[in-house]
Amino acid sequence: MWPDSTLVLSDQQKRLFEKLSLYCDKYAEQIPVTFVLGFYVTLVVNRWWNQFLNLPWPDRLMFHISSCVQGKDEYGRLLRRTLVRYVNLTSLLIFRSVSTAVCKRFPTMDHVVEAGFMTPEERKVFNDIRSPHLKYWIPMVWFANLASKARQEGRIQDSIDLQNILNEMNRFRTWCATLFGYDWVGIPLVYTQVVTLAVYTFFCACLISRQFLDPAQCYPGHDLDFYVPVFTLLQFFFYSGWLKVAEQLINPFGEDDDDFEANWIIDRNLQVSSRGLGHERRTQH
């Protein structure tokens, strides 16, 4: 850029541009790009990883239900399937809240009923409960009441088994609540704007300050003239790539290729829990 401009600028204009370049070079380094961008990416990656660690998996709870809820008859099998269904329903309600892909797949509670996660009677009870907040906790209440009823009926033979089931249920509920909390309290938009502005402002300043000036003027650090600013390009690739990583990970429940496959998790949890109980039935015969 600078060698081309020497053909059209007068000597006075050249000296003025060189002063502007030196000025930008002096103050561009005062923008704390590394600190601001590094702290921002660390925050985004930590949130992304914590959300992955808190994805609700029903496996442990299904194992407890399969081993602790007794009964080879139809009622016993229905009891176990209903408990597991409440668990999967809870995770589905959370995913409908945090994932756009799941919300498109289950836009209304009618779709939830059609998919078999909820009965029409349960939907009526669910809709009759008036609350301004997300009602993902209602299936957990049904789960706890049904498990307590199973203990009273002798389907759960020991109170310790009931306690273990409820403890696992609370652990599962904590995972769901954590995902809801991350979706509810996001990274402040102004922070993202500040980081983006800092990165692009820095490189706009570098576009002028990193020009190779006339070596005859003996400016410090400008005694050599390179056609390709290699290290400036590397710096641009690293910083802009760093920023793009944060933009990609800031919403892990979106519809991008690298986001969490919430629909796959729902299908996987449903298949694992149902097949686990199905295997338990075959081993009893």
Q: What pLDDT digit, counting tens, does each position of 37-55 carry? A: 999 999 999 999 999 999 9
Reduced to 3 states (helix: H, G, I; strand: E, B; else coil), residue 222 is coil
Q: What pLDDT digit, counting tens, does each position of 163-184 carry? A: 999 999 999 999 999 999 999 9
Are residues 136 and 90 in contact, defined by beta-carbon separation less than 8 angstroms?
yes
Structure tokens at 27: 């103050």
Residue-level pLDDT at 282: 47
Confidence of residue 281 (pLDDT cuts 50, 70, 90): very low
Q: What is the pTM of this model?
A: 0.81
Which of the two residues, 105 and 206, has the higher pLDDT score?
A: 105
Distance from C-alpha of 239 to C-alpha of 247, rounded to nearest angstrom: 12
Instruction: Kindly tell me if the per-residue pLDDT of 221 is higher than 60.
Output: no
Instruction: Kindly tell me if the per-residue pLDDT of 35 is higher than 80.
Output: yes
Confidence of residue 229 (pLDDT cuts 50, 70, 90): confident
Residue-level pLDDT at 216: 56
Residue-level pLDDT at 283: 44
Are residues 219 and 213 in contact, defined by beta-carbon separation less than 8 angstroms?
yes
Interacting residues of 127 by C-beta distance below 8 A, sequence separation 6+: 109
With pLDDT > 70 as the criterion, what percentage of the chain qualifies?
Answer: 80
Distance from C-alpha of 151 to C-alpha of 41, rounded to nearest angstrom: 49
Confidence of residue 285 (pLDDT cuts 50, 70, 90): very low
Confidence of residue 125 (pLDDT cuts 50, 70, 90): very high
Q: What pLDDT digit, counting tens, does each position of 21-32 carry? A: 666 666 667 778
Residue-level pLDDT at 128: 93
- Considering only 1-15, 122-136, 240-254, which range has the smallest mean pLDDT? 1-15
Residue-level pLDDT at 46: 96
Confidence of residue 16 (pLDDT cuts 50, 70, 90): low
Q: What pLDDT digit, counting tens, does each position of 58-117 carry? A: 999 999 999 899 988 889 999 999 999 999 999 999 999 999 999 999 999 999 999 999
The single-letter code of the amino acid at 202 is: F
pLDDT averaged over every residue in the chain = 85
Residue spans of alpha helices (H) in the chain = 2-5, 11-28, 33-53, 59-68, 74-98, 100-105, 109-114, 120-128, 138-152, 159-184, 189-209, 230-249, 262-284
Q: Let me know the angle formed at the C-alpha of 258 by 254 and 51, rounded to the nearest 5 degrees.
A: 65
Instruction: Kindly tell me if the per-residue pLDDT of 1 is higher than 60.
Output: no
Distance from C-alpha of 282 to C-alpha of 285, rounded to nearest angstrom: 6
